[in-house]
Chain A
């Protein structure tokens, strides 16, 4: 890929890496994974702050790193905009000087004018002469963003840029980034362990585990159609079960706890064991008194294990008859009340055939 950023990295120590990712100009790619999964190390490799044992990094046709050719451009020659998790502002310089520090090669007047422009772009006009210590966390983060953009970078690297601020400020900064990114035509990489954040901001996300890039794709696809049970677990999907494919009449069905479930997308051989997942949105509670439309679709009876009221929604865990692992889903609180949902109560749900996602078999703890 000539345009955009292409990263291939491999190393054993200090932390193992086996990463492969691409990011197009104007695209925001989220690197998601638990702490210690190598997200930050990958950013550091791209910036040139860490050198992997093997691999290559290319940006817009330029080779920044190529282990085989013994090429590794210094940090200064890579033109990256890096927003550090701690922001890493220069504490002895004012907001303006912090941004101007990244504008080498210009005259003093040009630097000052450009720094003013950049600070205005992140809504910090009027605070130019303040030092970082006299600014709030959110304002500091904005300086860090302005400073990262000052060099007219070839890539923008954001290392958990929202982790050090409170919830309200986080939402605001996330919106600002969402707006800012539309004006940028460079690859943008966002490291986060927050799936919601990735879902909100990123065009695509890459799931990382122990330094390996497991799956890349649009967030909704990765979150509803993970390629494996481990990825499903990494993205925090509940309702992960095991089953077996069976021949039933004309087509394949998914056998689970003695029931044969219809699945919209199903492939494989009868007798094959599979892991499967269903998002909570795919589990529908049946009404208590009268049957309603769609109840013929994969009906599953069970016992309510617990129900947790979270404001307008109630989270329900239902243990299906014959099984041990509960199905988790949520309904509006008034629906839960009308249907007299309480621990120990019996209830029936429908598993939408469209929502069931099959994956290669992996042990899930639930007998098929």
Chain B
């Protein structure tokens, strides 16, 4: 059992979810409530990771993150770290390929909030920020919950993009999904089986836990 790989997977899933959730709210709100030029384009871009093969997405991310690229260069200058074959790069890639899984449920949830309810919040004297915290986010909660579950589970399970962008560096980019592939390549069927079963159990447990927490919060709220 490759415990560091499992820890890395969980760390990646958690970090991705934490960063992506506010980002998804930021992107999904205007998509749900505003009409603006290029809206379809943004929606198509957000949905793109759903249809692209992970290798294609991974390849473009690899190119975009490379040290000769603007992004990779800027990141290197800013942090002194590279984006390719590092946890940072993996996290950024993970955020990109999870965009549709986070943005789409949140967008649908905001879409379902009637305009009058938001306006009523302003008429009650709430600032836009208060309206967001007290009215919009609680009402969008089921969508936020879906986004959390999908992002978390999807990050745990992602293989292609991780392999392309992160490679297979123990303790840095080797996630549990990669480690399982490794074990199979090394004809270690037992090791692969143990890790697979662990991944299934953890995925199942985390989804169940998040759902349970969410339902409890939903009842209270």
On A, residues with C-beta under 8 Å from B are: 47-49, 74-76, 79-82, 84-86, 88-92, 101-102, 104-105, 147-148, 150-151
Is A92's CB under 8 angstroms from B138's CB?
A: yes
Is B124's CB under 8 angstroms from A104's CB?
A: yes
The yes or no answer to B139 lying at the interface (CB within 8 A) is yes
Known A91-B139, A92-B138, A92-B139; judge A86-B116 contact (CB<8 A).
yes
The yes or no answer to B96 lying at the interface (CB within 8 A) is no
Is B121's CB under 8 angstroms from A47's CB?
A: no
- Nearest-neighbor residue (CB-CB) of B218 within chain A: A92
The yes or no answer to B215 lying at the interface (CB within 8 A) is no
Chain A contacts for B116, CB-based, 8 A: 84-86, 88
The yes or no answer to B127 lying at the interface (CB within 8 A) is yes
Q: Which residue in B120, B125, B138 is a CB contact (below 8 Å) of A104?
A: B125
Is B126's CB under 8 angstroms from A90's CB?
A: no
Q: List 30 A-B contacts (CB under 8 A).
A: A48-B122, A49-B122, A49-B123, A75-B119, A76-B122, A76-B125, A76-B126, A80-B123, A81-B123, A82-B119, A82-B120, A82-B123, A84-B119, A85-B116, A88-B120, A90-B117, A90-B135, A92-B135, A92-B139, A101-B121, A101-B135, A102-B124, A102-B125, A104-B124, A104-B130, A105-B125, A147-B120, A147-B124, A151-B124, A151-B125
Known A88-B114, A91-B139; judge A76-B119 contact (CB<8 A).
no
In chain B between 80 and 119, which residues have their CB closer than 8 angstroms to a CB of chain A?
114, 116-117, 119
- Nearest-neighbor residue (CB-CB) of A105 within chain B: B125
Chain B contacts for A74, CB-based, 8 A: 122
Q: Which residue in A49, A85, A101 is a CB contact (below 8 Å) of B124?
A: A101
- Nearest-neighbor residue (CB-CB) of A44 within chain B: B119
Min distance, Cβ B176 to any Cβ of chain A, angstroms: 37
Interface size on B, residues (CB 8 A): 18
Chain A contacts for B120, CB-based, 8 A: 82, 84, 88-90, 147
Is B123's CB under 8 angstroms from A47's CB?
A: yes
CA distance A49 to B117 in the complex (A): 12
Chain A contacts for B221, CB-based, 8 A: 92
Min distance, Cβ B135 to any Cβ of chain A, angstroms: 6
Chain A contacts for B121, CB-based, 8 A: 90, 101
The yes or no answer to B39 lying at the interface (CB within 8 A) is no
CA distance A104 to B125 in the complex (A): 7
Query: What is the interface of chain A mostly: helix, strand, loop, or mixed?
Result: loop
In chain B between 117 and 171, which residues have their CB closer than 8 angstroms to a CB of chain A?
117, 119-127, 130, 134-135, 138-139
CA distance A94 to B212 in the complex (A): 23
Known A49-B119, A88-B120, A90-B120; judge A76-B127 contact (CB<8 A).
yes
CA distance A181 to B176 in the complex (A): 68
Known contacts A49-B123, A82-B119, A90-B117; 10 additional CB pairs below 8 A are A48-B122, A76-B127, A80-B123, A84-B120, A89-B120, A90-B134, A92-B139, A102-B125, A147-B124, A148-B123
Chain B contacts for A84, CB-based, 8 A: 116, 119-120
- Nearest-neighbor residue (CB-CB) of A102 within chain B: B124
Min distance, Cβ B114 to any Cβ of chain A, angstroms: 7
Q: Which residue in B124, B130, B134, B135 is a CB contact (below 8 Å) of A150?
A: B124
Chain A contacts for B122, CB-based, 8 A: 48-49, 74-76
| Binary contact readout B15-39 vs A (1 if CB under 8 angstroms, 0 otherwise) | 0000000000000000000000000
Nearest 9 pairs between A and B by C-beta? Answer: A102-B124, A88-B116, A88-B120, A75-B122, A82-B123, A84-B116, A92-B138, A88-B117, A104-B125
- Nearest-neighbor residue (CB-CB) of B130 within chain A: A104
CA distance A148 to B124 in the complex (A): 7
CA distance A278 to B138 in the complex (A): 57
Chain B contacts for A89, CB-based, 8 A: 117, 120
- Nearest-neighbor residue (CB-CB) of B220 within chain A: A92
**Among the interface residues B116, B124, B126, B139, which one has the most CB atoms of the partner chain A within 10 A?**
B124
CA distance A86 to B139 in the complex (A): 17
- Nearest-neighbor residue (CB-CB) of B120 within chain A: A88
Min distance, Cβ B145 to any Cβ of chain A, angstroms: 14
CA distance A344 to B140 in the complex (A): 65
Chain A contacts for B135, CB-based, 8 A: 90, 92, 101
Min distance, Cβ A184 to any Cβ of chain B, angstroms: 17
Chain A contacts for B134, CB-based, 8 A: 90, 101
Min distance, Cβ B22 to any Cβ of chain A, angstroms: 20
Chain B contacts for A105, CB-based, 8 A: 125
Chain A contacts for B123, CB-based, 8 A: 47, 49, 75, 80-82, 102, 148
**Among the interface residues B114, B117, B120, B122, which one has the most CB atoms of the partner chain A within 10 A?**
B120
Chain B contacts for A91, CB-based, 8 A: 117, 139
CA distance A47 to B221 in the complex (A): 28
Min distance, Cβ A146 to any Cβ of chain B, angstroms: 12
CA distance A81 to B120 in the complex (A): 9
CA distance A53 to B73 in the complex (A): 49
